[in-house]
Amino acid sequence: MDFLPHSITIFNPYLDKGETKYKRHFIKHCKFNPTQAVQLGSVQVTSSDQGKVFVYEKDLDMSKYVTPNEFKGEGFTLSKTSYVVIGEYDKEIESVKDLKGLEHYTIESVDHNNYSFVLPHHFVLGVK
């Protein structure tokens, strides 16, 4: 059983001579959990995110990772301005409109859990 059965393609926007461009980065071995609703009596409770993506540092080339504030189009980052496509998408895009028809999300939150000696270091992306 594969506990990390998904792959994602990240599109990081950046400015190049005043024009928005997108850097594509493919990540294998992650886990996508779509939002699930819970019925509590007559009240339905759902998360405000559409899902969570779990990305483990051991499956990333962390030498290419840069923080969102440092990202200028080289390497990759995981930031609130980025887009996630579920699966591998091997084409460049010029705008988010190019993702129409694909299962794609905007990253709404990024938690970097890199403080444990016991649990593997990982990112949790809230996507909507």
pLDDT at 44: 65
Q: How far apart are CA 61 and CA 28, in angstroms?
A: 11
pLDDT at 1: 43
In-domain check, residue 12: yes
Residue range of the domain that includes 53: 6-127
18 phi and psi angles, rounded to 5 deg:
80, 0
In-domain check, residue 1: no
pLDDT at 74: 96
In-domain check, residue 49: yes
Q: pLDDT band for position 115 (50/70/90)?
A: confident
Split into its structural domains, the chain has a count of 1
Its pTM stands at: 0.85
Buried b (16+ CB within 10 A) or exposed e, 23-44: bbbebebbbbeeeeeeeeeeee
In-domain check, residue 109: yes
Q: pLDDT band for position 90 (50/70/90)?
A: very high
Alpha carbon 111 to chain centroid, angstroms: 11
Q: What is the mean pLDDT of residues 33-37?
A: 77
* Concatenated DSSP letters of 66-114: --TTT-SSSSB---TT-EEEES---S--SSGGGGTTS-EEEEEEEEEE-
Interstrand relation of 51-56 and 43-45 (parallel, antiparallel or unpaired)? unpaired
